[in-house]
Each structure stands twice: as structure tokens, then as C-alpha cells.
Amino acid sequence: MHNSKSVSAQNSKNLFLVSLIFLLLSSSTQLVGQVDEIREIQNSVVKIYTTQAEPDYFTPWRLLTPRQSSGSGAVISGNQILTNAHVVADASYVQAQKHNDPRRYQARVSFISHEADLALITVDEPGFFSDLKALAIGDLPDPLQEVSVYGYPIGGKSLSITKGILSRVEQQVYAHAGTYLLAGQIDAAINPGNSGGPVIVNQQIVGVVMQANSGGRAENLGYFVPPSIIRHVLTDSKDATHDGFPELGFRTQTLDSPSAKAAYGLERDEDGVLVIKVFEGSPADGILQENDVILQIDNFKIADDGTIRLSDDLLTDYKHAIDLHHIDEPISITYSRHGERATTQMIARRSLQSYSLVAGEQFDKVPEYYIYGGILFVPLNMNLIKRWGNDWGRTAPVSLLQARNEWSSPERRQLVVALQVLASDVNLGYHDWRNWVVDTVNGEPVRDFSQFSALIKNNTADNIVFKNTNGYQMVINHESALNSESQILSQYRIPSAYSIGLFDD
């Protein structure tokens, strides 16, 4: 019996050692496989250096002090590098650097979508892409799936790889341009420099790291542009003409209230969103009416909270059903009017210049301005409002902030602001006037900045009277304004009385 027990114990020990060796070998093989995968991907991740000089919307004939910044990007098909738009926005000089290569290669932006915070850059240097593998665009990961984030965050020169779990996918306000698009959220800290880097699953790009939404209150959270938005931009880029995401031209509110649903003719089992505004000249104009209830877009049924179901585990705002389309594609809309259901089609069109009186933030553009009688006039937009700093929601003038809540119309497309007065004899009495919205010029309502500027340039009256809605007036003698123009420009070292292209026909 003693010998039998010894043999049995020895066999168990041998079996344990064999199992342990097998596990170690398996772990070693798996680790080697992971290292090989990382090596293959890391050669496709590029560091991007930019010199950015943004316009100064307080003095729109100048640029702000140039600043150096860096970001990340990933090589995709067609000898292109996919990155964030904000990494290369307003850039005067762009360079790309490969992994473990000290040389920086001059690069250029080939396509940019500011609303999706995505850009494509390329390097014309022969052979740059010859040893770089193009990564494919994969599918959106499942909730709670682990992902890897590659990039070059600040604090070091080498490639950083972090892991996180996909925690949420829903519509988010993109920090770069303020658009409302689908975004993914992961529980991994993403630092400056990571922007534009790929989110990887199974050696495929399933997202592009982007800036956190503007609030910046959450810690250890990162956001990325998901595959559906990436593919939309890549398709848009094929003809090198930026079309963007379509806009049908209506606004809605949710119908959570049972009383409201009944009032607009819905049955208890019907859900949808209430149309509160239809913009003139939009695809919805003449089709939808205020107080219609939109029930379905394409095959997506809309819940009373305004969401649609993308999968068993994923709900998001119904706007995503429109974002999936490209310009000139038909979009099916099912709606209810006074309890009667109808289905129609709208053709996806480019967004009008702005459905709000305050246009969203623009990039890579020269600011418009007009100096008349020593008064600096500019159109109101988010670029100007954000010039008040990171806390612009509290520091910008209230009258300018309130205008963001007003709709535009064919009669009033844009607001014009008398931003500041360059003190001289022609504007005595108004030297301390600033941030003043102009509503009429010699009694003519202001439609937009172009029409406003034409009213001044073509004026034949002795005086020009600028007036606001409260009745306050600013009166400038026209002849004195013209005669003092060159002296004012010279005194304040301003190259021109108006921005380039303002009066081009």
C-alpha cells in the first residue's frame, strides 16, 4: 500500500508539473503573440507635429501668437494618415514622425471634417509609407469590451499604449466644433497628444481618440469618434469635396407627456418627437409642419424620449439616423399629423449656412470685418464669443450669449456687432461703446454681414445712423468717415479697412 500511494503521489506531482509547464508555455506563446501584434500596430501609429496660428477675432486682421502642438494618427489605405481635425486646424506647418524614427517629414492636410473632428493628412516624401501597414476600419465594439488606445501623449517621446473598457456609446457634443454626433466613451485617461490616435480591437481601428466634451468634469474618461462616423467622412473624402453631414431643417422636442401625446393625436402605443420649427428653404420646408409628430426615420422607430435603437444594448438620439446618410440620398420619414399617419421622402442636403443667428465655430478661415468711421464691425459667431476665454459662458456679454437661442430666417440670417471703437475725431462721443448689436442702418434692417457692409459702401446719405432694438443710435458723418479712413488705419497699424473677399462678387 505504501508503494502504491507513493506512485500515485508521484503521478499527481508529474501531472501538476506537466500542466504548469503547459500553462507557462501557453502564456508565453500568448504573450509573444501580443507583443508581435503590438509591434505590427505601433509601426502604423504616427506622431504629428503642428504649428498653429489662429485668427484673433478681437483684432481680426491679426493672428494670435503661433503655438506648437502635437497629436497622433494612424496609417490607413491610400497612403493616408487618419487623425483629429483639431490636431491640424489653423495649422501653417505640419510634420509626421514614424515610430522609432527621429526624422520629421513634412506633411499636408488632404481632407478635413471639422464637425466630425477628423482629418486626413499625407506625406509626399517617396518611400514614407513603404514600411507602414495600413490599418483597416473595424466595427463598433460591444459594451464592456476591452480596447487599446495608441498614441503619443505629452510627457514623453515614445509610443504609449493604454487599455480601457467601452462604457458608453451615445450622441455627444464634440468639443472641437460643437456638433452633436455619435461618440464612444472608454474608462481610460486620454491626455493631450493622444488626440487622433487609434482605438484598436483585433488590429483594426474601431475609433479615433478625440477631445473630451467641453465640460471636462469627468476624470479617467476618454472619448472617441466611432466607426460609423469615420466611414462617413472617408466616403465624403473620395471626391476631395467636403459635403459634411446632412441637415433636414427641422427642430423637435420630446413627447414624454401622455397629455401632450394625446393632444397631438397619438395612440397610447405610438411614440415620436414633436416638430416645433421648420426652416424656410430646407428639405423639410413644405413637407413637415409645426406640431407634426415624427414617428420613424428609415427603419428606426423613435421613442418618446427621442431615441432610436441601434442594437439590443445601444440607444442613441434619432439624429444619428440622419447622420448615417450622405448628401443627395433619400431619407424616409414617417410622421403623424392630427392623428393621420403618412410616410414621405426628403433628399439629404447640405446644411444651410446656419440655422442659428450665431454660427458655429469655424476653422481655417479668415475672419470678416469692416472698419467704418473708426468703428470695428464684425459678424457674431462662436469664434468671437469663445475669444472671451475658456469661461466664455460667464464672461462674454449677455446680449451676445442670448442670441445663440434665436433662430435665423431669410430676413435675419446673421447679427452684426460694433465690437470696439478706434478712438478718433470722427467717432467722438462713442469711444467707450463696444459689443453693440446693430439692427438697422439708416432704417434698413440688417440681414447679414454682407448686406450690412454693402449698405455702408453704397451709402449716399450725409450721415449713417446705426440703431439697435432698444432705440440707441450711433451717428457717423459719411464724408468724415471716408476722409479719416487712411489716417485711422495708419494710426492703429491696420492693413485694410475690411477683410479680404468681403466685396468680391
Which one of the listed residues 44, 72, 86, 176 is annotated catalytic? 86
pLDDT tens sequence across 371-413: 999 999 999 999 999 999 989 999 999 999 999 999 998 899 9
Q: CATH homologous superfamily of domain 250-347?
A: PDZ domain (2.30.42.10)
Q: Which of 248, 349, 350, 327 is nearest to 294 (CA)?
A: 248
User: Mean pLDDT over all residues of the chain?
Assistant: 90
Local confidence band at 1 (pLDDT 50, 70, 90 cut-offs): very low
Q: What pLDDT score was predicted for residue 19?
A: 65
Which one of the listed residues 44, 70, 72, 195 is annotated catalytic? 195
Q: What pLDDT score was predicted for residue 17?
A: 67
CATH of domain 370-491: 3.20.190.20
CATH of domain 43-244: 2.40.10.120
Q: Which of 456, 422, 425, 423 is nearest to 438 (CA)?
A: 456
User: Can you give the residue ranges of every domain in the chain?
Assistant: 43-244, 250-347, 370-491
pLDDT tens sequence across 4-50: 555 565 666 666 666 666 666 655 544 444 566 677 788 999 999 99
Q: What pLDDT score was predicted for residue 220?
A: 67
Local confidence band at 478 (pLDDT 50, 70, 90 cut-offs): very high
Q: What pLDDT score was predicted for residue 315?
A: 93
Q: What pLDDT score was predicted for residue 135?
A: 96
pLDDT tens sequence across 221-257: 889 999 999 999 999 999 989 999 999 999 999 998 8
Measured distance CA(427)–CA(372) in Å, rounded: 10
Specify whether the CB–CB gap between 479 and 472 falls below 8 A. Answer: no
Least confident span in 188-202, 325-339, 394-408, 441-455:
188-202
CB-side exposure of 385: number of CA atoms within 13 Å? 22
Which one of the listed residues 90, 117, 271, 292 is annotated catalytic? 117
Residues in contact with 32: Cβ distance below 8 Å, sequence separation at least 6, in sequence order: none
Q: What pLDDT score was predicted for residue 353?
A: 65
Q: What is the DSSP letter of 66?
A: P
Measured distance CA(230)–CA(291) in Å, rounded: 35
Would residue 86 show up in a list of annotated catalytic residues for this protein?
yes
Assigned C-alpha cell, 83: 487623425
3-state secondary structure at position 288: strand
CB atoms within 10 A of CB 80: 21
What is the percent of the chain with per-residue pLDDT over 70, rounded to a whole number?
Answer: 90
Percentages of the chain per state (helix, strand, coil), in multiples of 5: 20, 35, 45
> What number is the average pLDDT over the span 124-152?
94
What is the percent of the chain with per-residue pLDDT over 90, rounded to a whole number?
Answer: 77
Specify whether the CB–CB gap between 69 and 87 falls below 8 A. Answer: yes
pLDDT tens sequence across 67-111: 999 999 999 999 999 999 999 999 999 999 999 899 999 999 999
Burial class (CB in 10 A: 0-12, 13-18, 19+), 351: middle
Q: What pLDDT score was predicted for residue 192?
A: 80
> What number is the average pLDDT over the span 185-207?
89
Q: What pLDDT score was predicted for residue 187?
A: 86
Q: What pLDDT score was predicted for residue 313?
A: 84
Q: Which of 283, 281, 270, 376 is nearest to 322 (CA)?
A: 283
Q: Which of 213, 199, 217 is nearest to 145 (CA)?
A: 199
Local confidence band at 440 (pLDDT 50, 70, 90 cut-offs): very high
Assigned C-alpha cell, 389: 476665454
Would residue 99 show up in a list of annotated catalytic residues for this protein?
no
- pLDDT at 367 exceeding the cut of 90: yes
**Rounded-to-10 torsion of CA 242, 244, 248, 251:** -140
